[in-house]
Structure 1
């Protein structure tokens, strides 16, 4: 039986990117579900060997306006309890952090553009070491606190929690290692045109920066994602668990944003 991976997508252009060929090469059968449109609560997502929760323009705290966010968070909580491999990117990382009880809130500034990460000691010893000195893509306004028990892997001046892990199977990336800086990046510039205009960011500058760093960005991002995927400890089967029934529900003190 082949391995299965499910991706939760929130907007069409924020897709698996460079992760897609990596997963195919590793033998995963990949299914993409559009959150809010497709059923994300069924066994296909619950029992997947790997779940990837992608980015999007809404906030974790918008569940009243977008009720499917509560379903996403509940499924993520169940996977965390089972130590089922889960990767959260941008909004996905914030959902993982929130599922672990950490606070998610608007940050002091919108962080949009390319800039290197400051790796922690744990980050430098993790697959993120491939990104040392590499200007990665940032595109977010919200920030998440560090969940209790998780390891902080990277930060920037604008966002203290750029990456975190809980064991080897749970990883949250606030930045976008999955984006190919050339192939598909134009869709980001078009899809986020209003946000760029509001932030007074010239898409021509972003396009030029992406092109200038394309080779190293593509190589480093793929190396990170490939190494993390290869190091996963797959579980035989997810089970519904009540061990941590209140995970993320009761007030939990997270480390500072």
Structure 2
């Protein structure tokens, strides 16, 4: 699985909406298509940040039976989210190869896109890289530090996000080691172990040598800018409970309250939440800047399309 060892990591979900959400969009709207592989791995607060940038969000949920759109129907930008499946699970999830083909076209056409966690892994596989399920480097959950590469400081897409995040860290008193590290929220068992040949590595972490990378206008992130302190607390407490021997299937585990969990598991979740709340200003700054960067590209794409691609 891609996120946090079990689907319980996605229980903090938003209400399911019709896939054709953007059907009522005006012809002049800038539309972002969001592929949400699993409803329990939702767009979260990234939806709010995208909407604040005057973007109309169209949801596509392949596990719910929504067909993936053709490239020509993506609108002006694409976001691909995470999910509990892995990038190799094509027999159980036959839409994965089709999504890979779509991501190849996105890069070939220099189309604005963001791929998160599972999305980044599918993109890496599709573009000539490789993922491992599970990662040989181990699982990451909670708060980790991105170790930024030299390329991150000058990257045409990522550098602005880094700058905004570092400024927020300075205001909040969170160390970035002179702008070389950033705290982020993670939840994954799998990971990219080989970058596509022409991709630019932007960040690593202790257990994920490939945390962020770019290829064309595709920005790929292993971490979760859409996540929250409450969500990482939920993940940590349930995963810890299972590790302590709680015998429950995934659906049951998701439905349990903290009162049903061992005290040690609840305490583990509270510790992770406290750390996430400490770095929350930085995480939010990253997410808002990510939305702004994608929106700027998407609006430019809309203007170009309106002018016949000039």
Structure 2 CA distance, aligned partners of 1:231 and 1:45?
17
Residue number in structure 2 paired with 1:249:
none
* TM-score, with length taken from structure 1: 0.80
CA contact (8 A) 1:89 1:174 kept: yes
Deviation at 1:37, TM superposition (A): 1.7
Matched, 1:160 2:226: no
Pairs aligned (count): 232
Matched, 1:179 2:205: no
Matched, 1:61 2:128: no
Structure 1 CA distance, aligned partners of 2:58 and 2:236?
25
Equivalences for 1:13-32 in 2 at 5 Å?
Answer: 13-32=40-59
**Structure 1 or 2: larger helix share?**
2
Residues 148-171 of structure 1, C-alpha deviation per residue, up to 9 Å, x if partnerless? 11100000121111000013x211
Deviation at 1:31, TM superposition (A): 1.1
* TM-score, with length taken from structure 2: 0.67
RMSD: 2.5
Structure 2 CA distance, aligned partners of 1:63 and 1:116?
31
Task: Classify 1:28/1:128 alpha carbon distance in 2 versus 1 (closer, same or farther; 3 Å).
Answer: closer
Task: Classify 1:180/1:113 alpha carbon distance in 2 versus 1 (closer, same or farther; 3 Å).
Answer: closer
Residue number in structure 2 paired with 1:127:
160
Equivalences for 1:80-91 in 2 at 5 Å?
Answer: 80-91=107-118
**SS where residue 36 of structure 1 aligns?**
helix
Residue number in structure 2 paired with 1:218:
284
Residue number in structure 2 paired with 1:247:
none
CA contact (8 A) 1:127 1:228 kept: no
The answer for unaligned runs of 5 or more in structure 1 is 238-257
Deviation at 1:98, TM superposition (A): 1.1
Structure 1 CA distance, aligned partners of 2:113 and 2:50?
14
Residue number in structure 1 paired with 2:141:
112
Structure 2 CA distance, aligned partners of 1:92 and 1:192?
22
Residue number in structure 1 paired with 2:189:
141
Structure 2 CA distance, aligned partners of 1:2 and 1:15?
23
User: Which structure has the larger Rg over C-alpha atoms?
Assistant: 2
